[in-house]
C-alpha cells in the first residue's frame, strides 16, 4: 500500500513538473513575441499620448511682443469706377441698379477709408505693413497699444511684393523680434496679432499649413499658408512663432465670402526685410528679371522632354534682346536650377529671380534636348509699372459683362512674324464668355471688328456693343470668331 502511494506521488510530481515546464515554455514564447513587437514598434517614430500633449501658451508672446503691433487707419480719395458702386459688394444685385442712375465722370474721386495692422521694427519708429493697406492714402494714422496716435509718412512701398515701410516721429518704442522664415516647419504653431474689422490687438493662433505657395497674380512672393484666423484689418500684421519671433507678414486670405475660411497667407519675413532694407537705403525696390515666359512641367511634358520626373520651369517664349536671350536661353529649355536652388515647380522661379539684385550674375542649369546645360546670365531689372498700368494689367472687363480677366501681351508673346497684338485671357469666370467657350490662353484680337490692344479699349467696346458682340480670338495658331450674348 505504501509502495502504491509512493508511485502515485511520484507520478503526480513528474506530471506537475512537466506541466510547469509547458507553462513556462508558453510564457517564454509570449515574452519572445512581445519582445519582437517592441522591437518593431521601436523602429517607428513615437509620439506622446494626446492627453499629455499640452497646447502652447501664447500669453508671454502677447505681453512681450504685443505692444510693438500697431493699428493703421488710412483716408484718401480714389478715382471713381463705372464698374462698382461704393459700399456694395461687387456681386450685389443692387450694383447694376445704381450703375443705371449714377455714371461717374473720369475726374470723379470718391472718399476712401481703411484699416490695417503693422509692427514696429526699429525703436525710432520704422513700421512694416502691406502696400495695399496704404495704397492711395492721403493720410496714414498709426495708433499704439498705449493709445498714442501718430501721423505716419510712407517711406516707400512695393506693390509687387505687397510690402510698405512707414515712419512715425517717436523714440524708444517697443520693437518685435525678427525670426528666420527659412527655418519654419509645416505643422508648427503660429500666432497672429492685428486689428480684424477694427478690433485692435486681437490674437488668433493656428499652424503653418504649407510653404512656398504661389497665388494668382502674386507670383513673386513665396507665401506661407496658415490656418490662422485672418480677416480684413489683419493685413500687415505680424505672424509669430512660438519663440515670439516674427516669421511673416499676414497679407491675404482665400475666401468666397470675404471673411476667413481657413486659408491665410503671409509674406516670409526674410523676404519682407530685404524689401525694407531697399526702401530704407534707396527709397525704392529693384527686382530682377530674365525675360522669359514659363509654364508648369506636367507628367506628359516631362516624358516628352525626357525628364525623369515633372520638375523645373518650361520656357515657352524668350523676349528678344532680354537677359535670357543674351544668355542663350531658348524656347523649350526646362530651367532646373537657378543660382544653385532647385526649381521643383515653375512657380519657384519668379520669386527667386525677383529677389536677385539686377546686374548680378547668376547660374542656370537647363535641360535641353535630353542633356543638362550650364548657363550664366546677367540678371536684368524688372520694369516698374505705374499704379494705372499695374491696375490695368490685372483688371477685369468693364461692368463685369464678360467676366474675363485679361492683360496686354508682353514682348515675348508679341514676338512673331505677324507682330501679334491683342489681349491675353488670364482667367474666365462664370458668365457670358465662359458660356461661349472662351478659354484662358486665348488672345482677344478684336471686338465687333475693332482691334483691341489695351484693357481700356476692350472695356469701352464691350460697353458700347449692346446685347450681342463678336470676339475675334487667336487660339494657338487658329483665328476664329466667337459670338457672345450679354444677358
Rounded to whole angstroms, the Cα distance separating 305 from 168 reads: 55
Rounded to whole angstroms, the Cα distance separating 169 from 78 reads: 27
Q: Does CATH place domain 55-285 in 2.40.10.120? A: yes
Residue extents of the structural domains in the chain: 55-285, 288-381, 387-485
Q: Does CATH place domain 387-485 in 2.30.42.60? A: yes
Among candidate residues 86, 69, 59, the one with its CA nearest the CA of residue 199: 69
Cβ contacts of 382 within 8 Å, gap of 6 or more: 160, 286, 287, 288, 289, 354, 358
pLDDT (tens place) for every residue of the chain, 487 residues total:
554 455 555 555 545 444 444 333 333 344 444 445 444 445 566 666 655 567 788 999 999 999 999 999 998 765 544 444 444 444 444 444 444 444 444 445 556 678 899 999 999 999 999 999 998 888 999 999 999 999 999 999 998 899 999 999 999 999 999 999 999 999 999 999 999 988 989 999 999 999 988 776 667 888 999 999 999 899 999 999 999 999 999 998 887 777 778 899 999 999 999 999 999 888 889 999 999 988 888 898 888 888 999 999 998 888 888 999 999 999 889 999 999 999 998 888 988 999 899 999 999 999 998 999 999 999 999 875 433 333 333 333 433 577 787 878 766 666 554 556 788 887 777 788 888 888 888 888 888 778 888 877 888 888 787 777 778 888 877 778 788 887 6
**This model's pTM is above 0.85:** no
Are 215 and 162 a contacting pair, CB within 8 Å? no
SS3 (DSSP) at 134? helix
Cβ contacts of 406 within 8 Å, gap of 6 or more: 397, 423, 424, 425, 426, 444, 455, 458
Rounded to whole angstroms, the Cα distance separating 192 from 239 reads: 5
Rounded to whole angstroms, the Cα distance separating 279 from 87 reads: 34
C-alpha of 175 from chain center: 26
Task: State the cell numbers at 228.
Answer: 490662422
Helix (H) or strand (E) holding 9: helix 2-42
Task: State the cell numbers at 459.
Answer: 472695356
| Measured CA angle at 421 (ends 416, 427), to 5 deg | 105
Cβ contacts of 457 within 8 Å, gap of 6 or more: none
Task: State the cell numbers at 401.
Answer: 459683362
Distances (CA, A) of 347 to 221, 344, 366: 9, 8, 16
SS3 (DSSP) at 233? coil
Task: State the cell numbers at 362.
Answer: 547668376
Burial (CB count within 10 angstroms: exposed 0-12, middle 13-18, buried 19+), residue 368: middle
Rounded to whole angstroms, the Cα distance separating 310 from 300 reads: 8
Rounded to whole angstroms, the Cα distance separating 391 from 407 reads: 10
Could you check whether 55-285 and 387-485 share the same CATH topology? no
Distances (CA, A) of 247 to 89, 118, 190, 212: 33, 14, 9, 13
Q: Which CATH superfamily is domain 288-381 in?
A: PDZ domain (2.30.42.10)
Task: State the cell numbers at 311.
Answer: 520638375
Task: State the cell numbers at 487.
Answer: 444677358
Enzyme catalytic residues: 132, 162, 235
Amino acid at each position: 500500500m505504501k509502495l502504491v502511494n509512493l508511485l502515485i506521488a511520484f507520478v503526480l510530481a513528474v506530471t506537475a513538473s512537466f506541466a510547469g515546464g509547458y507553462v513556462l515554455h508558453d510564457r517564454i514564447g509570449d515574452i519572445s513575441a512581445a519582445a519582437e513587437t517592441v522591437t518593431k514598434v521601436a523602429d517607428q517614430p513615437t509620439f506622446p499620448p494626446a492627453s499629455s500633449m499640452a497646447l502652447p501658451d501664447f500669453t508671454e508672446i502677447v505681453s512681450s511682443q504685443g505692444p510693438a503691433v500697431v493699428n493703421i487707419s488710412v483716408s484718401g480719395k480714389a478715382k471713381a469706377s463705372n464698374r462698382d458702386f461704393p459700399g456694395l459688394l461687387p456681386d450685389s444685385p443692387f450694383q447694376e441698379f445704381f450703375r443705371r442712375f449714377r455714371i461717374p465722370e473720369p475726374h470723379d474721386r470718391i472718399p476712401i477709408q481703411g484699416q490695417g495692422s503693422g509692427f514696429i521694427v526699429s525703436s525710432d519708429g520704422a513700421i512694416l505693413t502691406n502696400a495695399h493697406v496704404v495704397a492711395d492714402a492721403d493720410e496714414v494714422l498709426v495708433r499704439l497699444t498705449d493709445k498714442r496716435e501718430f501721423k505716419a509718412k510712407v517711406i516707400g512701398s512695393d506693390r509687387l511684393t505687397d510690402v510698405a515701410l512707414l515712419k512715425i516721429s517717436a523714440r524708444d518704442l517697443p520693437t518685435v523680434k525678427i525670426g528666420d522664415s527659412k527655418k519654419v516647419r509645416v505643422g508648427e504653431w503660429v500666432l497672429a496679432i492685428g486689428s480684424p474689422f477694427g478690433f485692435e490687438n486681437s490674437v488668433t493662433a493656428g499652424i503653418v499649413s504649407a510653404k512656398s505657395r504661389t497665388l494668382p497674380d502674386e507670383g513673386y512672393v513665396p507665401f506661407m499658408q496658415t490656418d490662422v484666423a485672418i480677416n480684413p484689418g489683419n493685413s500687415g500684421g505680424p505672424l509669430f512663432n512660438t519663440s515670439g519671433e516674427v516669421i511673416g507678414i499676414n497679407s491675404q486670405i482665400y475666401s468666397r465670402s470675404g471673411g476667413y475660411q481657413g486659408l491665410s497667407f503671409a509674406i516670409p519675413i526674410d523676404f519682407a526685410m530685404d524689401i525694407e532694407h531697399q526702401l530704407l537705403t534707396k527709397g525704392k525696390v529693384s527686382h530682377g528679371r530674365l525675360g522669359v515666359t514659363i509654364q508648369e512641367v506636367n507628367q506628359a511634358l516631362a516624358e516628352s522632354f525626357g525628364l525623369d520626373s515633372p520638375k523645373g520651369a518650361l520656357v515657352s517664349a524668350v523676349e528678344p534682346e532680354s537677359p535670357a536671350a543674351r544668355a542663350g536661353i531658348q524656347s523649350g529649355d526646362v530651367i532646373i536650377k537657378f543660382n544653385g536652388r532647385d526649381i521643383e515647380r515653375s512657380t519657384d522661379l519668379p520669386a527667386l529671380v525677383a529677389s536677385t539684385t539686377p546686374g548680378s550674375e547668376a547660374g542656370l542649369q537647363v535641360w535641353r534636348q535630353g542633356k543638362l546645360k550650364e548657363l550664366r546670365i546677367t540678371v536684368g531689372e524688372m520694369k516698374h509699372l505705374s499704379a494705372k498700368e499695374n491696375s490695368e494689367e490685372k483688371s477685369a472687363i468693364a461692368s463685369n459683362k464678360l467676366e474675363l480677366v485679361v492683360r496686354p501681351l508682353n514682348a515675348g508673346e508679341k514676338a512673331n512674324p505677324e507682330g501679334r497684338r491683342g489681349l491675353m485671357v488670364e482667367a474666365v469666370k462664370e458668365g457670358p464668355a465662359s458660356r461661349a467657350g472662351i478659354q484662358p490662353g486665348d488672345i482677344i484680337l478684336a471686338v465687333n471688328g475693332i482691334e483691341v490692344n489695351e484693357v481700356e479699349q476692350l472695356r469701352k467696346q464691350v460697353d458700347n456693343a449692346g446685347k450681342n458682340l463678336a470676339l475675334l480670338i487667336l487660339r494657338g495658331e487658329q483665328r476664329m470668331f466667337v459670338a457672345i450674348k450679354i444677358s
